[in-house]
C-alpha cells in the first residue's frame, strides 16, 4: 500500500527582488517594496512530502534520516542566509517563494522519494512544487465576513428546516469565511514568478473580498437571490468569478478552498473538474 508522509522544517532568511539589467524605476514598478535595498526577510516553513511502500518497520522512510537530509541539503545552508547569494540557482532566477520550492526539490530529489514541496513564506502565502519542470502552484489566503440563510424559496419554513436545520432560520446567521485561492503556472526563468502577486491579490480583493465582505449574501449578491449560498455554492461562484481575471494574468485557477467554520470547508478543483468536501469528521471525499 502506497503511503505519503510529511516532514516539517523551517528556516529564517532574507532576499531581495532585483534584476541588475533593469533600472531602479523598472525594478520598483515590477517588484514594489520587495525591491528595496538591502532586502527583507521571512520565517519560512517547509513541508516535504514523501511517498512509498511501508517497509518491515512500518515506515515509508526513517524520519531521522529524512530530518538529517533536509538539514544537510537545505536548512543548514538557508537558515540566516541572504538567499540571493547562497545558492547559484538564485543568481539566474530570483528566490521567490515558488522558485525556492522548486530549487529545494532539486536539492532533495537525489536523496528522497519526493511528491511535493510546500513552502510557506508567511501564513497567508505558500507555494507548492511537484517536480514538473517550471510548473508550480501559488496559494493566497484571505478572509471575509458575511451572513446567509439556507432556504429554497419554493419550500415552507418547515420543509427548509428539515433540509437545512438551524441554517434555515428566517433572519440568517454569519461566518468569518477563510478563503484560499491556488493558481498554477510556469515560473518565469528570470523573475522567478509564476504570476504578479500584487495583481493576483488585487483580483481576489476586487472580485470577491470587497463585494462579499459584510454582506447578507442572499440579499446583497444577486447570484444568491436564486442560488442557495451553501459553502459549496459560494466556493463554486468564487471560482467562476476568478477564472477569467486570473487567466488574464497569465496563470490558471487551480483550486478554491472556502472554510466556513473550523468544522466545515469546501474545495473546488478547477483544472481537474473535481469537487472536494471536507469536514472534521470526514477526512476527504472526492466527487467526480
Q: Which residues are catalytic?
A: 167, 214, 260
Determine the Cα–Cα distance for residues 237 and 222; give it in Å rounded to an integer.
12
Side-chain half-sphere of 3: how many Cα atoms within 13 Å?
10
Backbone angles phi and psi of 257, in degrees to 5: -120, 125
Give the 3-state secondary structure of residue 112: coil
Backbone angles phi and psi of 134, in degrees to 5: -100, 5
Determine the Cα–Cα distance for residues 23 and 35; give it in Å rounded to an integer.
11
Determine the Cα–Cα distance for residues 4 and 52; give it in Å rounded to an integer.
7
| Grid coordinates belonging to 121 | 513564506
> Which of 79, 98, 101 minimizes the C-alpha distance to 140?
98
- Residue found under cell 543568481: 91
Side-chain half-sphere of 19: how many Cα atoms within 13 Å?
21
Residues whose CB is less than 8 angstroms from the CB of residue 280 and which lie 6 or more positions away in sequence, other chains included: 262, 263
Pairing of strands 114-122, 135-148: unpaired
Determine the Cα–Cα distance for residues 38 and 24; give it in Å rounded to an integer.
13
| Grid coordinates belonging to 231 | 459553502
Amino acid at each position: 500500500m502506497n503511503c505519503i508522509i510529511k516532514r516539517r522544517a523551517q528556516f529564517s532568511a532574507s532576499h531581495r527582488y532585483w534584476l541588475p539589467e533593469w533600472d531602479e524605476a523598472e525594478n520598483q514598478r515590477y517588484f514594489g517594496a520587495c525591491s528595496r535595498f538591502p532586502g527583507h526577510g521571512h520565517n519560512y516553513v517547509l513541508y516535504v512530502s514523501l511517498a512509498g511502500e511501508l517497509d518491515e518497520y512500518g515506515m515509508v522512510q526513517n524520519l531521522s534520516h529524512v530530518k538529517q537530509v533536509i538539514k544537510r541539503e537545505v536548512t543548514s545552508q538557508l537558515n540566516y542566509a541572504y538567499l540571493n547569494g547562497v545558492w547559484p540557482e538564485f543568481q539566474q532566477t530570483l528566490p521567490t517563494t515558488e522558485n525556492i520550492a522548486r530549487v529545494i526539490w532539486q536539492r532533495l530529489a537525489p536523496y528522497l522519494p519526493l511528491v511535493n514541496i510546500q513552502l510557506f513564506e508567511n501564513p497567508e502565502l505558500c507555494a507548492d512544487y511537484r517536480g514538473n519542470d517550471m510548473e508550480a502552484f501559488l496559494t493566497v489566503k484571505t478572509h471575509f465576513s458575511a451572513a446567509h440563510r439556507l432556504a429554497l424559496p419554493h419550500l415552507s419554513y418547515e420543509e427548509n428546516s428539515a433540509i437545512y436545520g438551524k441554517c434555515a432560520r428566517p433572519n440568517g446567521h454569519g461566518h468569518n469565511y477563510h478563503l484560499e485561492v491556488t493558481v498554477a503556472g510556469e515560473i518565469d526563468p528570470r523573475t522567478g514568478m509564476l504570476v504578479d502577486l500584487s495583481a493576483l491579490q488585487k483580483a481576489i480583493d476586487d472580485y470577491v473580498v470587497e463585494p462579499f465582505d459584510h454582506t447578507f449574501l442572499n440579499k446583497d449578491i444577486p447570484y444568491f437571490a436564486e442560488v442557495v449560498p451553501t459553502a459549496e455554492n459560494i466556493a463554486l461562484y468564487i471560482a467562476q468569478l476568478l477564472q477569467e481575471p486570473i487567466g488574464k494574468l497569465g496563470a490558471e485557477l487551480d483550486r478554491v478552498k472556502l472554510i466556513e467554520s473550523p468544522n466545515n470547508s469546501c474545495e473546488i478543483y478547477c483544472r481537474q473538474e473535481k469537487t472536494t468536501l471536507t469536514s472534521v469528521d470526514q477526512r476527504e471525499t472526492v466527487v467526480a
